[in-house]
Amino acid sequence: MVLSNRTTLFCGIDDPAKMIEKLGCREESFQKDSIIVHKGDIIRSFAMVLDGSASVLRYDIEGNGNLVSVIDEGEIFAEAFGVEGSPSPVTIVARENATVLWFPLDKVLEERTLVCNLLIVSAERNLFLTKRLEHLSKRSLRDKVLSFLEEMREKNGSDEFDIELDRQEMADYLASDRSALSLVLSKLRKEGMLDFRKNHFVLKFTPKA
């Protein structure tokens, strides 16, 4: 992967490669399914995926690993608990053969531009999490769906838009069942609240706020 100063992290940094050198970052390769971060690890660094991708997993009480998120090439991870200095609440594994670049936080914190960029990344993630929480805190799937679609409308600035998620992903995002989601969507359509076809949606209700 080519490092570019167009990514949020390197924004405003002339020569990312030089900066990486200066920070003493180290590259590490992982085989598919090997563990990058164990739950409970305390790491005083954060990382960027240079090649491949990684899965963030959380193990529930029954020992099942649940997928929390996927980290693709160029994205960074572990910055939250890295910065905070607390043990990792998640396990991170390589989805395929992958290479990651570790940034030592003590050095990073001395680079004003990098810290600012990291702060922006953190703030972005924060907003994203808040929005999802907003949807999930609705009591019914119907309200979750409406809340989600309302966000999409705001994001696109139009009553008509496409969404990136397929039904299964949308159901997962809203923490529900795919067929239950289909049911709710069909019902909303019958009621004339909206129309849709695959990932194309047209909203016919208006927010009263």
Partner DNA sequence: AGTACCATGTTGCAAGTACAACATATTCTC
Partner DNA sequence: GAGAATATGTTGTACTTGCAACATGGTACT
In the complex, which residues of this chain contact a second copy (CB under 8 A)? 39, 58-63, 66, 68, 79-84, 86, 89, 109-110, 112, 115-116, 118-120, 122-127, 129-134, 136-139, 143, 146-147, 150, 175-177, 205, 207-209
198 binds, among DNA, a second copy, none (CB under 5 to 8 A by kind): DNA
Q: How far is the CB of 32 from DNA (least distance, A)?
A: 19
Q: What are phi and psi of 59, to 5 degrees?
A: -95, 130
C-alpha dist (Å) from residue 103 to 4, 80, 115 = 16, 13, 12
- 199: its two tokens: 């990932």
Q: Are 9 and 48 in contact (CB under 8 A)?
A: yes
The binder of DNA chosen from 147, 176, 193, 205 (CB under 7 A): 176
Nearer to a second copy, 24 or 87 (CB): 87
Q: Are 199 and 188 in contact (CB under 8 A)?
A: no
Q: How far is the CB of 29 from a second copy (least distance, A)?
A: 27
Which span sits near DNA by CB under 7 A: 33-41, 61-69, 95-103, 135-143?
Answer: 135-143
Which span sits near DNA by CB under 7 A: 12-20, 26-34, 56-64, 170-178?
Answer: 170-178
Q: Are 46 and 77 in contact (CB under 8 A)?
A: yes
Residue 156: other Cβ atoms inside 10 A: 13
Q: How far is the CB of 124 from a second copy (least distance, A)?
A: 6
98 binds, among DNA, a second copy, none (CB under 5 to 8 A by kind): none
Q: Phi/psi class of residue 173: alpha, beta or left (left: φ > 0; alpha: ψ in -120 to 50)? A: alpha
Which span sits near DNA by CB under 7 A: 28-36, 58-66, 87-95, 183-191?
Answer: 183-191
Nearer to a second copy, 166 or 177 (CB): 177
Nearer to DNA, 31 or 182 (CB): 182
Does the footprint of DNA cover residue 95 (CB under 7 A)? no
Helix (H) or strand (E) holding 179: helix 178-190
Long-range contacts of 16-23 (CB under 8 A, 24+ apart): 19/111, 19/114, 20/101, 22/107, 23/103, 23/104, 23/107, 23/108, 23/111
